[in-house]
């Protein structure tokens, strides 16, 4: 049913730390790997060995530069995937009931056997979180690795989304954002976590943590730390230099 | 947004077809016999052809029947239900007009109301999308409804009514363009809000997430179509509304009506192309484009 639930029992989601993300794209690759080998249609690549390769991904890393007044510019790596919005516009536009938001944990999913591939949900999403698979012609999106987090056959440390499990810099956190005492909620409170495009009224569950303002212009003038280029030597060394140059 | 030919044809053809069915249902023109066969045939043919064109847009047309289930929340589903209901309810009125020379006004009126609701539902599919600020404005359903009613009135050979509706359509298109050019700024979405980094300073894209194309860019960050926006606006306004209005006001009979219809449909195809090509999706912000 594409009507959104009024409330969800839990709000499982991600907290992404823009301060520690190093832009390695490991989350992109692990996501593609897990979601190609497991639940649903595989994430296809089109023209993979040709001149214009492209593929379906559920998670992509953009890199932005922030020009700050009175401070050096800052490079911010920015992973982006489905935010599992409380007021998800992608769900309500779906004509078939393929898109739905789960009441038990708030995860937004697509039932691929009901998807007619109309693409309207991808239009409705302000974040570009949904991509139509080029081969299967059904809508693909982040499942929050629903087939990992409840999977008893995996060892307990693996029961989190593939992107979180693989992140080498600890920039991705997974948990219940409806519980104010959860690790992720405390992290959001401590670091001033924010929503993306709040003006779109989607009420995202996923939060982003801002980069810390560690660089300031008060750091020493780097040019003054450089040795000046050595002046031409005189005396014996100068004669030696000139002679060796002529040889 | 990508101006898909299937969607342009769908919105123009089915809109005109349902517009014609509104007038035939209301009995503004109450043809019987062969005339009814031709006019109802055009109404059903145009709306049916449009719906068929839309089905080609689907990745899995074989599952299209599932689209009738989610009318509680989805305008696309409502559109499917209303379109089918219109064609069904109007059928006794059409058949009786053609074969028994006796229109059935009750079915006609109900069908006309459903046809109008179908046109509104088509427009709302686009209007509901907040992520495309140009569309999320009351002028979008106004343009769709007036275009459908004006085109329908021309086919029904209602010259005076058609001329006034054409002028109204021209005005609605102008309002849609004027407000549309300001809607993105009014939405408040910027790269700063999209990344949440706007408070730190000026944000720009340093490196895109992928060097090649992808579904999002192809579908929602279509920038080439806007190059000739002003020329296309002039064509849409001139051929789509003003020229047909003029032709309908001249005492020229069916030749003028035919010319008006051809000009109107051509203009509306240009308008609908622009409707998609000019519409900027906020996801473009993440790619440093609009």
pLDDT of residue B122: 96
Instruction: Summarize pLDDT for A136-187 with one digit per residue, the tens.
Output: 999 999 999 999 999 999 999 999 999 999 999 999 999 999 999 999 999 9
Is pLDDT above 90 for A11? yes
Angle between helices B105-127 and B5-26 (to 10 degrees): 150
Q: What is the pTM of this model?
A: 0.90
| Averaged pLDDT, A188-199 | 97
Per DSSP (E only), the strands in chain B are: 202-207
pLDDT of residue A1: 67
Interface residue A203 vs chain B (CB under 8 A): no
- Let me know: does A65 contact B200? Beta carbons within 8 Å: no
- Let me know: does A79 contact A129? Beta carbons within 8 Å: no
Which burial class, exposed, middle or buried, applies to A46 when counting CB atoms under 10 A from its CB (0-12, 13-18, 19+)? middle
Taking Cα atoms as reference points, which of B281, B170, B285, B180 lies closest to residue B229? B180
Q: Phi and psi dihedrals of A17, rounded to 5?
A: -95, 105
pLDDT of residue B164: 96
What is the mean pLDDT, run by run of 10 residues, along chain B of 290 residues? 90 95 92 93 93 85 92 95 96 94 94 97 97 97 98 93 96 97 95 96 95 92 80 95 94 86 96 94 92
pLDDT of residue A229: 64
Contact A98 B75 (CB under 8 A): no
Is pLDDT above 80 for A102? yes
CA distance A113 to chain B (A): 9
Q: Phi and psi dihedrals of A195, rounded to 5?
A: -95, 150
ipTM, two decimals: 0.93
Architecture field, domain A12-209:
2-Layer Sandwich (3.30)
pLDDT of residue B85: 96
Instruction: Summarize pLDDT for A33-74 with one digit per residue, the tens.
Output: 999 998 899 999 999 999 999 999 999 999 999 998 888 889
pLDDT category at A221 given cuts 50, 70, 90 is low
CA distance A97 to chain B (A): 6
Interface residue B131 vs chain A (CB under 8 A): yes
CA distance A14 to chain B (A): 16
Taking Cα atoms as reference points, which of B19, B10, B39, B37 lies closest to residue B114? B19
Q: Of A2, A61, A68, which has the smallest distance from its Cβ to B200's Cβ? A: A68
Is pLDDT above 80 for A217? no
């Amino acid at each position: 049913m594409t009507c959104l639930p009024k409330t969800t029992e839990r709000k499982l989601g991600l907290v992404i730390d823009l301060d520690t993300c190093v832009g390695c794209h490991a989350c992109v690759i692990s996501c593609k790997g897990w979601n190609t080998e497991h639940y649903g249609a595989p994430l296809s690549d089109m023209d993979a060995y040709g001149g214009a390769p492209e593929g379906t991904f559920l998670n992509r890393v953009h890199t932005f530069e922030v020009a700050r007044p009175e401070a050096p510019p800052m490079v911010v790596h920015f992973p982006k995937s489905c935010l599992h919005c409380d007021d998800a516009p992608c769900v309500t536009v779906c004509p078939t009931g393929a898109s739905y938001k789960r009441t038990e944990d708030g995860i937004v999913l697509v039932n691929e056997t009901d998807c007619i591939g109309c693409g309207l949900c991808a239009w409705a999403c302000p974040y570009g979180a949904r991509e139509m698979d080029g081969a299967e012609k059904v809508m693909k999106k982040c499942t929050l690795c629903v087939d990992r987090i409840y999977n008893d056959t995996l060892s307990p440390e693996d029961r989190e989304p593939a992107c979180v499990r693989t992140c080498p810099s600890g920039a991705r956190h997974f948990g219940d954002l409806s519980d104010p005492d959860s690790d992720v909620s405390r992290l959001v409170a401590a670091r001033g976590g924010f929503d993306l495009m709040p003006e779109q009224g989607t009420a995202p569950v996923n939060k982003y943590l801002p980069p810390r303002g560690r660089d300031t212009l008060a750091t020493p003038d780097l040019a003054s730390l450089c040795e000046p280029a050595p002046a031409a030597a005189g005396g014996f060394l100068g004669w030696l230099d000139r002679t060796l140059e002529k040889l | 947004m990508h101006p898909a030919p299937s969607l342009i044809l769908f919105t123009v053809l089915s809109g005109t077809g349902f517009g014609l069915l509104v007038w035939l249902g209301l009995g503004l023109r109450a043809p019987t016999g062969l005339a009814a066969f031709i006019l109802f045939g055009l109404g059903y043919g145009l709306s049916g052809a449009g719906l068929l064109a839309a089905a080609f847009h689907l990745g899995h047309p074989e599952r299209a029947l599932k689209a009738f289930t989610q009318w509680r929340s989805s305008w696309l589903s409502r559109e499917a239900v209303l379109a089918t209901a219109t064609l069904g309810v109007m059928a006794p009125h059409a058949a009786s007009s053609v074969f028994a020379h006796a229109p059935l006004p009750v079915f006609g009126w109900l069908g006309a109301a459903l046809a109008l609701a179908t046109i509104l539902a088509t427009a709302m599919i686009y209007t509901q999308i907040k992520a495309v600020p140009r569309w999320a404005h009351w002028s979008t359903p106004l343009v769709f409804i007036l275009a459908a009613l004006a085109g329908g009135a021309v086919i029904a050979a209602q010259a005076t009514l058609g001329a006034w509706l054409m002028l109204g359509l021209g005005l609605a298109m102008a309002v849609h363009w004027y407000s549309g050019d300001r809607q993105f700024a009014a939405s408040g979405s910027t790269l700063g809000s999209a990344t949440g980094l706007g408070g730190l300073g000026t944000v720009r894209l340093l490196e895109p997430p992928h060097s090649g194309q992808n579904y999002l860019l192809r579908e929602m960050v279509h920038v080439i179509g806007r190059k000739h926006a002003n020329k296309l606006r002039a064509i849409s306004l001139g051929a789509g509304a003003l020229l047909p209005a003029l032709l309908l006001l001249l005492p020229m009979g069916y030749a003028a009506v035919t010319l008006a219809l051809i000009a109107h449909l051509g203009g509306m195809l240009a308008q609908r192309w622009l409707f998609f090509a000019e519409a900027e999706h906020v996801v473009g912000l993440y790619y440093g484009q609009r």
